[in-house]
Amino acid sequence: MATLRDVKKRIKTVESTERITKAMEMVAASKLRRAQQRVEETRPYSKKMDEMLSHLATGSTGDIVHPYFEERDVKKQTVVVFTSDRGLCGSFNANVIRKINGWMKKNSDVETEIVTVGKKASDLLKKHQNPLVGNFSDWGGSLEMGKARELVSFLSERFVAGETDRIILFFTRFLSTVRYKLVDELYLPIAKPDVSNNETKVNSYYIFEPTPEIIYSALMPSYVTTKMVTALVESFASEHGSRMMAMGNATKNAGEMRQTLTLEYNKARQGQITKELLEVISGAEALVG
Amino acid sequence: MFSLSVVTPEKVHYELEAKSLIVPGSEGYLGVLAHHAPLITVLKPGRLEFVDSDDKMHLLSVSVGFLEVSDNKATILADAVEEADSIDIDRAQKAYDRAQDRVTKAFEKGTDISLERARKSLQRALNRINIYKEIN
């Protein structure tokens, strides 16, 4: 049986762990709130951008001539894996890595290179047989526009230069505080907007200033940046959400453990008192006898 | 009247009914009134002006962006907009100085890309300063 001191020591350890996990849960919760707000703020912009692109495609005659739309035979492809920089967020990173590994096994006939976002992905995929061509870490769990642009230009330059024929993003979409969904989204080439079945077809007498080509070349960089920003903020929000849940569970477990340990401690203490009493009584009896 | 929305990646700035709108199109300033013909255009840094349903005039600085008009709806998608009375003049001035510096440096080095970028940020900063001066 554990001695009183040992149990007391363990109670202390569990208590301090509980305090730490509790604090981490609160930090994650406040970061989640901010990230969630960010997700909601970016949605209208990206929705309007989609609409504008679709109207542009419907309204302008002739083919879309922008390199981002160019569909080639896929000989080489790039996967972008979104994970967190830091751990202690439950199965958040493990899920992403599992999905990407499964996907790559299925698509092993095409030469695939990896670009990672977040430290965890580069740590976990470093030893992968597929080459790691880029790594964008140290976000600190929030969006940094300059860095996002760097990532966008890195990817789009690779695509335009023909070093890759297809770029796919693997990230966690934020549905609610307790619901996330792992998605794979084609990033480049951009799927041509569906022109055939569009209610604005009737309105195809748009005026373009100066020309559709120039508008495309101005719109497309913004479009791909917006898409990337969306993926990033969704992933960050999911990360904070997962961490909040993981830390919440840890706090709960620590609390339970503390209770069992306290019970054990009290039992041991009671046992010791009984033992001492017995000793005193038997000592007294010996004197009398 | 037509509905106007001004949206940036940060937030939806305005979503209201407007009487008129003047934007800095890439080919020059253009005005939009109710039932304008469908239009898509590129915006360059400049002043954005609109009159809301209470006849109140709003003045904003806009960096690059796009304008779409269709079905009596005008949508402005911009990288950034700032209401004239909330422009931080010190920040704008600093951005201007920095951009000026970068232009000089890029010019000396002769790199086209960074010169182009520096010129653009100089333009944006100057635009903000000008609009600030307009109301102060």
pLDDT at A210 over 70: yes
Co-location of B34 and B80 in the same domain: yes
Co-location of B73 and B10 in the same domain: yes
Of B12, B37, B42, the CB nearest to A214: B42
C-alpha to C-alpha distances, A265 to A14, A17, B49, nearest whole angstrom: 13, 18, 74
Helices B112-135 and B89-109 cross at an angle (nearest 10°) of 160
Q: What residues contact B73, with CB distance under 8 A and at least 6 apart?
A: B2, B3, B4, B5
* Cross-chain residue pair A41–B9, CB shorter than 8 Å: yes
Which residue is closest to B10 within chain A, CA to CA? A41
What does the pLDDT average to over A3-18? 91
Q: Distance between CA atoms of A152 and A124, rounded to whole angstroms? A: 23
Co-location of B100 and B75 in the same domain: no
- pLDDT above 90 covers a percentage of chain A that reads 53
* Cross-chain residue pair B66–A52, CB shorter than 8 Å: yes
What does the pLDDT average to over B100-122? 81
pLDDT, tens digit (0-9, with 9 covering 90-100), for B14-27: 999 999 999 999 88
Amino acid A84: pLDDT: 92
pLDDT at B91 over 90: no
Specify the pTM: 0.83
pLDDT, tens digit (0-9, with 9 covering 90-100), for A78-89: 999 999 998 888
Q: What residues contact B67, with CB distance under 8 A and at least 6 apart?
A: B23, B25, B32, B39, B40, B41, B43, B74, B75, B76, B77
What does the pLDDT average to over A31-55? 90
Of B9, B30, B77, the CB nearest to A52: B77
Co-location of B71 and B31 in the same domain: yes
Co-location of B77 and B96 in the same domain: no
Co-location of B80 and B92 in the same domain: no
- pLDDT above 90 covers a percentage of chain B that reads 45
Residues of A within 8 A of B42 (CB-CB) are: 209-210, 214-215, 218-219
C-alpha to C-alpha distances, A212 to A24, A95, A220, B74, nearest whole angstrom: 51, 42, 12, 18
Residues of B within 8 A of A64 (CB-CB) are: none
Co-location of B18 and B75 in the same domain: yes
Co-location of B26 and B78 in the same domain: yes
Q: What residues contact A198, with CB distance under 8 A and at least 6 apart?
A: A54, A58
Which residue is closest to A208 within chain B, CA to CA? B40
Residue to mutate among B77, B114, B117, B120, with most A CBs inside 10 A, is B77
| Average pLDDT value for chain A | 88
Which of B68, B84, B100 is the C-terminal boundary of a domain?
Answer: B84
* Cross-chain residue pair A52–B8, CB shorter than 8 Å: no
Amino acid A273: pLDDT: 93
Higher pLDDT, A213 or A63: A213
pLDDT at B114 over 80: no
pLDDT at A13 over 90: yes
User: Is A89 part of the annotated catalytic residue set?
Assistant: yes
Domains of chain A by start residue, with CATH? 28-244 (3.40.1380.10)
Enter the ipTM: 0.83
CA angle at residue A76 from A74 to A81, to 5 degrees?
Answer: 110
B28, with CB counted inside 10 A (0-12, 13-18, 19+), is exposed
Q: Distance between CA atoms of A208 and A211, rounded to whole angstroms? A: 5
Residues B51 and B59 sit within 8 Å (Cβ to Cβ): no
What does the pLDDT average to over A194-218? 73
| Average pLDDT value for chain B | 89
DSSP-derived letter for residue A191 is P
Q: Distance between CA atoms of A211 and A162, rounded to whole angstroms? A: 27
What does the pLDDT average to over A143-155? 89
Long-range Cβ contacts of B35-38 (<8 Å, 24+ apart)? B35/B2, B35/B72, B36/B2, B36/B69, B36/B72, B36/B74, B37/A205, B37/A207, B37/B69, B38/A59, B38/A203, B38/A205, B38/A206, B38/A207, B38/B69, B38/B70, B38/B71
The CATH number linked to B127 is: 1.20.5
Of B9, B27, B70, the CB nearest to A229: B9
Co-location of B66 and B93 in the same domain: no
Amino acid A199: pLDDT: 53
Q: Lowest-pLDDT range, A66-70, A240-244, A253-257, B46-50?
A: A66-70
The CATH number linked to B71 is: 2.60.15.10
Domain of residue B128 covers 88-135
Amino acid B74: pLDDT: 94
Co-location of B23 and B74 in the same domain: yes
Q: Lowest-pLDDT range, A28-37, A40-49, B40-49, B106-115?
A: B106-115
* Cross-chain residue pair A52–B10, CB shorter than 8 Å: no
| Closest listed residue to residue A151, CA positions, set A101, A76, A226 | A226
* Cross-chain residue pair B27–A209, CB shorter than 8 Å: yes
pLDDT, tens digit (0-9, with 9 covering 90-100), for B24-53: 998 899 999 999 999 999 999 999 999 999
Q: Distance between CA atoms of A271 and A234, rounded to whole angstroms? A: 55
pLDDT, tens digit (0-9, with 9 covering 90-100), for A106-124: 888 889 999 999 998 888 8
Structurally, chain B folds into a number of domains equal to 2
Co-location of B65 and B108 in the same domain: no
Co-location of B8 and B75 in the same domain: yes
